[in-house]
Amino acid sequence: MMRDILVPLGAGTIFGAGLTIGGMTDPARVRGFLDLFGNWDPTLAFVMGGAVLVMALAWMLQRKMLRPFLAEGFSLPDRNDITPRLVGGSALFGIGWGIAGLCPGPGFAALAIVPGEAAIFVAAMLAGMLIVRLAEGRG
């Protein structure tokens, strides 16, 4: 159905626009946030704070809804266990984010702004995802 394409496309477009407007597609800005003892840039803290606020409102709204507007039911996580795989993946994500100044969302959004630089990051990210799938026997 057309809705199955348009809703994710619209959500992704809004997400990418927000990342771009917030400056999160600029690796220097992200690395500036991580430079606590140098030329610290607090922009990312404001972007994260805005995201937390929006998500808090969304959770409050979700509790009052019987079902989502565009789906038959909610698909919420039902686990909260912390595994070595989760901790390792989180550590790798953080290290990569600190080195590259990009993570998946801003990396894809940056393809529209600085395609050459972002393509290197996106290619490396996709290669890493493939390597994990192959190592786990899911490829």
DSSP annotation string for 56-108: HHHHHHHHH-SS-TTSSS----------HHHHHHHHHHHHHHHHHS--HHHHH
Is this model's pTM higher than 0.75 or not?
no
How high is the pLDDT of residue 49? 94
- Low pLDDT (below 50) residues in the chain: none
